[in-house]
A = this chain, B = another copy of it.
Amino acid sequence: MSPQPRTGLGTNQEAVRRHNLGTLLRHVHRRGQSTRADLTRGMGLNRSTIAGLVTELESLCVVESTDTVGSPRGAGRPSVVVRLAPSGPYVVAVEVGVDRMVVARVGLGGVVHQRATAISSGTEAWQVGSTVASLVREVVDQAPSDAAMVGIGIAVPGLVRRSDGLVRLAPNLEWADVSFGSIVLAALGVEVPVSLANDADLGALAEHERGVAVGVGDLIYVSGNVGVGAGIITGGISLAGAGGYAGEIGHLQFKPGGRPCHCGNRGCWETEVGAHAIAQAISLPTDQVPRLDEVLAGYSRPTRELRAIGTMIGHGLASVINAVNPEMIVLGGYFSALHSLVRDEIEAGVSDRTLSSPFETVSLELPALGADSVLMGAAEMAFEPLFTDPVSALGSAIQDVRTRVAG
């Protein structure tokens, strides 16, 4: 019943309270608001226990109870509504892209309070770090002074080591072994929990928590960009792998002897379906690849070349579906735009090459959060400690953020 099983450990009562408190908060965070009666049913605990938990979260200034709400249908006394406190804790979500950076201040419930964007002026880590830092300052500027910042979540297009958040390799930023979290913290001049992860992993997380894949335990978010990566969630848990590098499905062997890939091999899947391959298929010059999204949006009917790419996307996905048996594939990045053009080819490619049992249950979907999946995933990641142990997470949160990160 605990979200992150620590193998072999026993449980004491203290842990029970922590867990129940976090679980209740997670419920409210997911639904935005909830009645105490719903929480009682959803968590399988006693009425009075829920009352105690809610009271504790209220005293932590995280939630508040509003006595009655508009339309209580059905007989019986209407239940108290528990909603998130307006000046409750928040996180800062950062999405580092190749050509731009997005930073947002996100409250519980996934509410984006403020947002700031900048075009990259260079890809050196310290440059990116200082740009991010000033965006963070901007975004934090109008936060209520009594609201606590729980942490910063950063999405990076590359391989991120799970244990310490080190960016091992981000080919499109030309980073290798960059401790980007420390760089941002240093530029901000504060100590606050920072977590980093791969962008596709966070896309999967966000779509799982508040997107198309709510309630779906096994899903794969495929991010089709210059590189092709995947975030995999199985049994409701993010598949990290030993180092945190899982999901590099762009380097599935796809076409022996095919085009050379930056990884040193030939014929990797992403050399056939990645942004450069798509651009080439529609004769778009390499320097226009960042604009691929708008260019694709301009097409009303697919070309023969695009249809061929659709088929190859389907074939590649089929391998992944056979291996992981997901319930849903969410097509992110350029694959979203392609889906509306060559949906039939993608689906035919998938059905041709999957085994029948895993095929029966899988569906292809577009991200419900649109271009914000990754950003929202970064926010969800930063909130995570709050749902594991609200009390200690709020203990390591910082107050009075505005003055402490001032320019």
Binding site for B on A (CB under 8 A): 1-13, 15-16, 19-20, 23-24, 26-27, 42-45, 49, 159, 161, 168-169, 217-218, 230, 234-237, 239-249, 251-256, 263, 265, 315-316, 318-320, 322-327, 352-358, 360-362
Q: With a CB–CB cut-off of 8 A, which chain B residues contact A319?
A: 251-253, 319
Contact present for A159 and B355 (CB under 8 Å): yes
* Other-chain residue from B10, B11, B45, B248 in contact with A358 (beta carbon distance below 8 A): B248
> In the complex the two chains form, what is the Cα distance from A161 to B357 in whole Å?
9
Evaluate whether A8 and B27 lie within 8 angstroms (CB atoms) in the complex, with A253-B315, A326-B242 already known. yes
Contact present for B8 and A5 (CB under 8 Å): no
Contact present for B242 and A322 (CB under 8 Å): no
Contact present for B169 and A253 (CB under 8 Å): no
> In the complex the two chains form, what is the Cα distance from A352 to B268 in whole Å?
12
Contact present for B325 and A246 (CB under 8 Å): yes
> In the complex the two chains form, what is the Cα distance from A20 to B11 in whole Å?
7
The interface centre, meaning the residue of A237, A239, A316 with most chain B CB atoms within 10 A of its CB, is A239
Tell me, rounded to whole Å, the shortest Cβ–Cβ distance linking A177 to chain B.
10
Q: With a CB–CB cut-off of 8 A, which chain B residues contact A43?
A: 8-10
* Other-chain residue from B24, B45, B240, B323 in contact with A252 (beta carbon distance below 8 A): B323
Q: With a CB–CB cut-off of 8 A, which chain B residues contact A354?
A: 251
Q: With a CB–CB cut-off of 8 A, which chain B residues contact A326?
A: 241-242
The interface centre, meaning the residue of A26, A161, A235 with most chain B CB atoms within 10 A of its CB, is A235
Evaluate whether A45 and B323 lie within 8 angstroms (CB atoms) in the complex, with A234-B239, A248-B355 already known. no
Contact present for B11 and A253 (CB under 8 Å): no
Contact present for A23 and B1 (CB under 8 Å): no
Tell me, rounded to whole Å, the shortest Cβ–Cβ distance linking A145 to chain B.
33
> In the complex the two chains form, what is the Cα distance from A327 to B217 in whole Å?
24
Contact present for A355 and B253 (CB under 8 Å): no
> In the complex the two chains form, what is the Cα distance from A27 to B254 in whole Å?
44
Contact present for A323 and B323 (CB under 8 Å): yes
Q: With a CB–CB cut-off of 8 A, which chain B residues contact A2?
A: 1-2, 5, 11
Tell me, rounded to whole Å, the shortest Cβ–Cβ distance linking A401 to chain B.
31
Tell me, rounded to whole Å, the shortest Cβ–Cβ distance linking A54 to chain B.
13
Instruction: List the 9 closest pairs (A to B, CB-CB), nearest first.
Output: A241-B325, A242-B327, A10-B43, A246-B325, A10-B45, A218-B242, A245-B325, A248-B322, A1-B11
Contact present for A11 and B5 (CB under 8 Å): no
Listed A/B pairs (25) with beta-carbon separation below 8 Å: A2-B11, A9-B23, A9-B43, A11-B16, A11-B19, A234-B239, A234-B241, A234-B246, A241-B325, A242-B325, A242-B327, A242-B361, A243-B360, A245-B325, A245-B355, A245-B358, A246-B323, A246-B325, A248-B325, A248-B355, A251-B319, A251-B322, A252-B322, A265-B352, A319-B319
* Other-chain residue from B16, B44, B243 in contact with A13 (beta carbon distance below 8 A): B16
> In the complex the two chains form, what is the Cα distance from A324 to B253 in whole Å?
14
> In the complex the two chains form, what is the Cα distance from A390 to B218 in whole Å?
29
Contact present for B244 and A10 (CB under 8 Å): no
Q: Please, which residue of chain B has its CB at the minimum distance from the CB of A216?
A: B242
The interface centre, meaning the residue of A43, A168, A316, A323 with most chain B CB atoms within 10 A of its CB, is A323
> In the complex the two chains form, what is the Cα distance from A19 to B12 in whole Å?
10
Q: With a CB–CB cut-off of 8 A, which chain B residues contact A24?
A: 10
Q: With a CB–CB cut-off of 8 A, which chain B residues contact A256?
A: 255-256
